Structure 1
Amino acid sequence: MLSGVFSPVEAGFKLILMAVGGLAVGGAISWLVGKGKSMMAARGFFDPITPVFLMLLVPFAAFVMAEHLHLSGILAAVGAGWMQSRLEMLPKNIQTRMLNRSVVHVIVALLEGACFVILGNALPGILEGTVSNHNLNTFSLFDLSEYVVLITASIFVTRFVWIYGYKKLTVLYKRLTRTPHKPEQDALVSGLMTVAGVRGAITLAAVMSVPVVIAGELFAGRDIMIFLAMGVIILSLVVGALGIPVFLRFVQGDAEKSQAKEVLLAKVTASSAVIRFLEEWEHTHSIGKDAGEAVMMTEVLARVMADYRQDVDALDSVDNVRERAQAMEALERDLRLKAIGVQRKALFKLRRKRLIDDEAMRQLITDLDYSEAALQ
């Protein structure tokens, strides 16, 4: 028989310590690894594949270290991922960022698919264990189904209150600081984010990690826990599949316009910054140049600046200027894509004639793939 006194203050302090400590450990490990990669790159020891392997191993290292220190391993992995995303968004490591995105997308798809494949394989045994008398005790299948609905509803309500409250607090902060803001469909957008945000892979992984045997005896409640998690996941997916199209009818136009304006402003700002930089660069580097070098520099600057001026014109608010610039941009993109296709065919022809080897072929094709991806 166990006895003791529960202290909310002590429990809350330990919870905060585990959460904050886990985030700190994960962020610190990821930061140290990022610094190590930067030092290696600065000394010429750089291979895009190595940082990708480190990216995959860092969350596991953070989890193990945090658990060893009796902190939250899950939050340590989250902190490591957050720090890694900040480091990878630095202006350098372009090849690493592109490779990271591809690897992460593939791994996420594989892991989520594997979770549901495992669930499908275990489903018959889970259902059999759930409906058996020795597991149900006082619960019927109808009672468990009710619990699934109640848990799902509580999740959606909690998510909506959190998202809607955050949006309202943001609006209040902007009003107090007199920051310009535009009215948005907060309730509808919050509802859309509520039904669209539940997937269930993490929940499924957590509940499947519950041990089958505890203290030498079968854990009778494990099947019920998995059944409830499975039901919540399936029900949330159904609600999302049915609810997202309904919400999109009312918020799609407003959300797309708002995002389009943000993208437009960002593109104009970035292109204008490049034009200003080129103008300043021309002024500072034109002094002391001979005639031939000055002409060459002027031609190159004009060619580069023309591309960015065309981007600014394509985003111009004046209809005729924007339409003409967009038509020119579309024509140029189409011609460049066709030119890349011609280059690729020519390279394959050279390889068939054995005028270039496989290594040169792979390098050239990779460069063309990057160019084509940038245009699309």
Structure 2
Amino acid sequence: MHTLLPFLLAMIAAIVLLNMWATKLKIAYPILLVIAGLAISFIPGLPTVKIDPDLIFFIFLPPLLFEASWSISFKEMKKWWRIIGSFAFLVVFFTALSVALVTNYLIPGFTIAIGFLLGGIVSPPDAVSTGAIMKFVKIPRSTSAILEGESLLNDASSLIIFRFALVAVGTGQFVWHEAAGSFIWMVLGGAAIGLLLAWIFVQAHKRLPTDAPSDIALTLIEPYFMYWVAEQVHSSGVMAVVCGGLYMSAKRLVFLNSASRIKGFSVWESFVFILNGVVFMIIGLELPEIVGGIRSEGISLGTAINYGLLVTAVLIGARMISSYAALVATTIFRPSVRPHASSRVRRWMMPLLLGWTGMRGVVSLAAALAIPVTLNGAAFPHRNLILFITFVVILLTLLIQGLTLPYFIKRTHFFDGVFGLENEEATRLKMKQGLKQHVYQELKNKYENGLQGNEKIAKILKQWEERAKAADDSWMNDDTKTIFVELLDSQREYLVELNKDPKIDEEIIRQQLYQIDLEEERLKII
């Protein structure tokens, strides 16, 4: 332990430094992490870091999925639910099937079940990698929401495929009608359990005398509890965490105060960042052992790399075909909701770019590491080869697609004018002006009878009247704090109503709500 602890601390420090370097280079930090993981594997004498395959999902997936469900715009998910649903379920199954058929035909010893297992592992694009890359390019918020929503839900569908394939490999058979019933229970049961537990957690936060540290501590254990309960009744823990997280995200203004929201955001951002980095480092540290296992099975390193290249090509091709199939189907059956573009050529080039966004990452790594070492007392068939192919797929998609995607977007301008994105600055200005006018009218209507002879209320009214013309935050005293907090709550209600407008970007609303939380916290220390 005394040897391992300094190494783990050094690993976290390396993750932080690599993130700084990635920001300076303006590339997604998962790209540098996966390269660093590969480089670390060649350093002799490093301690061995082992994680029980049965625990890998439980340790990493719940917090990663929970944080992702809090970050996504549920309004945009509802707006684009058809394309998100098709990519999250139909495309994942098509991709897994493609991988299963190709590997069964071309890789000696790969059965259809093992091919589906590999397909379930590598089929879901990574939300973290996509989000990190999108920081450096300008795309419509709706497009970003589609990619984020897909990445959130396809984790659930791919891991359900992974679970069924794992059973098929172990039993040697696959009963379709039983699988269909189990699939329905896993999806619906997991969603119901997640929503029920999320409701209970919300009520607990509201009724218990919690403060910011206790609120944050509870949110850290809640996704683990959702996942564990769902798995105990053989439903999908992933669906439970995703649905529960979406529900709690929508209720965040109800059960968390401003201090909990502000501090919780920073804690979760750091926690998830470290988890992502550690997963990449772990696979890098295990790479020498994986390569040794491949060679012990009589497979050369060059052959294994070729298999990785093959699977990567299948993944990219399947996503391209799916993107164009989705556009064709939408054009035929739902022309009113198809993506808008300035020209026919640009419209038909868009699936090419959407198909190029399929970077793989942490979920694929966690799934590969979760494959049991033994099966029915014998070594799990081709476990090391599956791990190696997964690593090659992640490395190639991050390097090839991750590095070229920002260049393509900037050079082609394909996303200009797509989905009717409003100008963000104009929207932000309109929202802030509306907020000022709303607060001024709220104050005037609520305290109009007390204005006569009440110097304090008159001062507040005059200040907000001036704010409607120009911002001025230069004053505040203890006597006016209560009224001012009421006005902040009124602003939140106004923003929640404003968010119902489908033309307003929810991210702008969330940023303004965060500013209001900061202002409320500022009042507490004046």
Counterpart CA distance in 1 for 2:349 and 2:367 is: 31
Q: 1:150 aligns with which of 304, 307, 313?
A: 313
Q: Which amino acid aligns with 1:118?
A: I
Give distance in 1, aligned partners of 2:262 and 2:332: 36
CA contact (8 A) 1:63 1:74 kept: yes
Could you tell me which of 411, 414, 426 is aligned with 1:249?
411
Task: Name which of 214, 218, 225 aligns with 1:54.
Answer: 218
Gaps of 5+ in 1: 176-180, 312-331, 337-366, 372-376
Of structures 1 and 2, the one scoring higher in RCO (CA 8 A, sep 6+) is: 2
SS at match of 1:210: coil
What is the TM-score normalised by the length of structure 1? 0.68
State the match for 2:250 in structure 1. Answer: 86
The equivalent residue for 1:14 is 182
Task: Answer yes or no: is the 8 Å Cα contact 1:210–1:222 preserved in 2.
Answer: yes
Give 1:97 shift.
Answer: 1.4
Match of residue 198 from structure 1: 359
Task: Specify every segment of 5 or more residues in structure 2 that has no aligned partner in the other structure, as ranges.
Answer: 1-170, 476-517
Paired AA for residue 33 in structure 1: F
**Which residue identity does 1:113 align to in structure 2?**
G
| 1:52-131 matched pairs, under 5 angstroms | 52-90=216-254, 93-131=257-295
Amino acid at match of 2:266: S
Q: Does 1:298 align with 2:458?
A: yes
**CA RMSD for the aligned pairs?**
3.9
Deviation of the 1:10 alpha carbon: 4.3
Q: Equivalents in 1 of 2:413, 2:376: separation in Å?
A: 53
Distance 1:265 1:60 in 2: 38
Deviation at 1:37, TM superposition (A): 0.4
Counterparts of 1:55 and 1:305, CA distance in 2: 40
| Residue of 367, 389, 401 corresponding to 1:228 | 389
Q: How does 1:201-350 map to 2 (within 5 A)?
A: 201-238=362-399, 239-251=401-413, 254=416, 261-262=423-424, 264-265=426-427, 267-269=429-431, 271-287=433-449, 289-290=451-452, 292-293=453-454, 295-310=455-470
Q: Secondary structure of the residue that 2:234 maps to in structure 1?
A: coil
Please identify, of 296-305 and 106-115, the stretch whose mean Cα deviation from structure 2 is larger: 296-305
Amino acid at match of 1:130: I
In structure 1, the residue corresponding to 2:416 is in which secondary structure? Answer: helix
The one-letter code matched in structure 1 to 2:191 is L
Aligned residue type for 1:172: P
Aligned residue identity for 1:227: F
- Aligned residues of 1:188 and 1:250 also touching (Cα < 8 A): no
**3-state DSSP class of the match of 1:205?**
helix
**Residues 174, 220 of structure 1: alpha-carbon distance in 2 compared, 3 angstrom cutoff:** closer
Contact 2:212 2:260 in 1 (8 A): yes
The yes-or-no answer on 1:172 pairing with 2:367 is no
Contact 1:188 1:247 (8 Å CA) reproduced? no
Distance 1:194 1:26 in 2: 31
Distance 2:268 2:309 in 1: 37
Verify the 8 A CA contact 1:58 1:80 in the aligned structure 2.
no
Q: Does 1:32 align with 2:200?
A: yes
The answer to whether the 8 Å contact 1:195/1:244 transfers is no
* TM-score (norm: length of structure 2): 0.50
Deviation at 1:162, TM superposition (A): 8.1
**What's the CA shift for 1:121?**
0.6
Residues 154 and 111 of structure 1: CA distance in aligned 2, closer, same or farther (over 3 Å): farther
Q: Which amino acid counterpart does residue 303 of structure 2 have in structure 1?
A: S
Task: Classify 1:301/1:92 alpha carbon distance in 2 versus 1 (closer, same or farther; 3 Å).
Answer: farther
Matched with 2:484 is none
8 Å CA contact 2:373, 2:379 repeated in 1: yes
Give the deviation of 1:54 after TM superposition: 1.4
Paired AA for residue 37 in structure 1: H
> In 2, distance between residues paired with 1:156 and 1:31?
36
CA 1:74 to 1:260, structure 2 compared with 1: closer, same or farther past 3 Å? Answer: same
CA deviations over 1:198-225 (Å, ceiling 9, x no partner): 2410110111011112222122311011
Equivalent residues of 2:259, 2:521 under 8 A apart: no
- Alpha carbons of structure 1 residues 200 and 3: separation in structure 2 relative to 1, 3 Å: closer
